[in-house]
Chains A and B, each alone.
Chain A
Amino acid sequence: MRAQLPPTNDSQGRVIPEAELQRHERFEDELIMGLERDQLVAETSRPVPRASLSARARAGLWALRVFVILVSLMVIYTFFHDLH
């Protein structure tokens, strides 16, 4: 919500005085405090775009997938083997 606040310059390029900015922030704080929790969560929810990863990062994540699956299978196999 605070990310939607105007910058320190208004739409006509004039500098907003510090006192007015602080007044605006206080108003925003009071507004936030007045929201219900679910309203606040919904208001602050910001979908982010899919990350663009380098080829090295993607290869690393695939290696991590293979590592996790292989070692998990080993642990699960050992657990059932030792049960019997």
Chain B
Amino acid sequence: MPFPSGSFNTLLLLLASTIGATVTPWMIFFQQSACADKGMTPRDIEHGRYDTAAGAVLAAIFGVGALIAGAALLTHNGAGIQGFAPNAGFPQALSHVAGGLVGTVFALGLVEAGAVAILTISASTAYAAGECIGVSHSFNTSPRHAAVFYTANIGVALLAAVVILIPGAPLLSIALNANVLATVLLPVSLVFMVMLANDRDLMGQWMNKRSTNAIGISVIAFVGLCGAAYGIDSFLRATQVIG
């Protein structure tokens, strides 16, 4: 598997990848497009905030749960996934350590995460394609009147399926590096989002406060730093400038 060597670089890879998998630039596009598509108005902001807060807390809880489940393997002399279930995935390895039920629940969680991801990522790509080209981009429009939107939506999902089905494809490395790339691209979306949120004409009374800006800019700086740290460090290692 094409993992970069060196523990510090691996740490940067996992850090940048986790950020890219959690915040995700496509989610920003999806969320704003879905809000517009559902016809949400300023009266829905309060409920939207509860929804976002609940989603963030639940995502963090499930993320921590996955990490703890992963740590279960470490108590068995660090045998790792391959030691428990050669040529199989993490859920099967987990079922050898913590029982079949735990492995099954974890596998169902992965299936659910994949189902949500394929729906939202392909939808966000379709929304973006429709907005860029300036054609109809809504689930409220029939496929005949929004051909680009639905074609992009289904096309992206099919493309992802084709990549996964390539025999011997380094899926873990592809997933990690795609998430790192998301982290690198994330500052662009976040900067534009902060700029829009500070536009008084556009936002009116919902314009960002100073404290919100301070938090937002700190997050952008941290995300940019993590992406740059991994990109520069791994590039210098690959070109053997540093060992």
Instruction: Report if B230 contacts A (CB, 8 A).
Output: yes
> In the complex, what residue of chain B is closest to A32 when comparing beta carbons?
B41
Extra A-B contacts (6), CB below 8 Å, given A71-B232, A72-B181: A37-B38, A68-B187, A71-B184, A77-B235, A78-B234, A84-B2
A83 touches B2 (CB 8 A): yes
Q: Flag whether A76 is at the interface (Cβ < 8 A).
A: yes
Interface residues of B (CB under 8 A from A): 2-4, 36-39, 41, 138, 140-141, 170, 173, 177, 180-181, 184-185, 187-188, 191, 195, 199, 201-202, 224, 227-228, 230-232, 234-235, 237-238
Whether A79 and B184, one on each chain, are in contact in the complex, defined by CB atoms closer than 8 angstroms, is no
Once the chains bind, are B37 and A41 in contact (CB under 8 Å)? yes
Whether a CB of chain B sits under 8 angstroms from the CB of A74 is yes
Interfacial chain A residues near B201, Cβ < 8 Å = 48
Task: List, sorted by A's number, 12 A–B pairs whose CB atoms are closer than 8 Å.
Answer: A35-B39, A37-B140, A64-B188, A68-B184, A72-B231, A75-B177, A76-B181, A78-B4, A78-B235, A78-B238, A82-B238, A83-B170
Question: Once the chains bind, are B138 and A41 in contact (CB under 8 Å)?
Answer: yes
Specify the chain A residue showing the minimal Cβ separation from B227.
A71
Q: Does A67 contact B (CB under 8 A)?
A: yes
How far does the alpha carbon of A1 sit from the alpha carbon of B35 in the complex, in Å?
16
Report the interface size class on chain A.
20 to 34
Task: Give CA–CA (A18, B173) in the complex, Å.
Answer: 63
Is B141 within 8 A of A71, CB to CB?
A: no
Tell me, in angstroms, the Cα distance from A33 to B237 when the chains sit together.
59
Give A residues with C-beta under 8 Å from B: 2, 32, 35-38, 40-41, 44-45, 48, 51, 57, 61, 64-65, 67-68, 70-72, 74-79, 81-84
Does the CB pair A79–B228 fall under 8 Å? no
Q: Cβ of B202: which chain A residues have Cβ within 8 Å of it?
A: 48
The listed residue (A45, A51, A77) touching B199 by CB distance below 8 A is A51
Dominant secondary structure at the B interface: helix
Would B184 and A38 count as touching, CB distance under 8 A? no
A54 to B199, CA, bound (A): 14
With A37-B39, A37-B140, A74-B232 known to touch, is A64 a contact of B238 (CB < 8 Å)? no
Is B191 within 8 A of A61, CB to CB? yes
**Is there an interface contact between B36 and A79, defined as CB atoms closer than 8 Å?**
no
Looking at the complex, which one of A41, A65, A71, A81 makes contact with B36 (CB distance below 8 Å)?
A: A41
Q: Are A82 and B4 in contact (CB under 8 A)?
A: yes
Chain B residues near A71: list those with CB within 8 A: 184, 227-228, 231-232
Q: How far is the CB of B149 from the nearest CB of chain A, in Å?
A: 12
Chain B residue nearest to A78 in the complex (CB): B234
- Report the separation of the CA atoms of residues A4 and B63 in the bound assembly, to the nearest whole angstrom: 45
Is B188 within 8 A of A72, CB to CB? no
- Which one of B140, B173, B188, B234 lies within 8 Å of A74 (CB-CB)? B234
Query: Residue of A at shortest CB range from B42?
Result: A2
Within the complex, what minimum Cβ distance (angstroms) separates A74 from chain B?
Answer: 4
B130: shortest Cβ distance to chain A, in Å? 12
Q: Chain A residues with Cβ under 8 A from B185's Cβ? A: 68, 72
Measured CA separation A37–B238 after assembly (Å)? 52
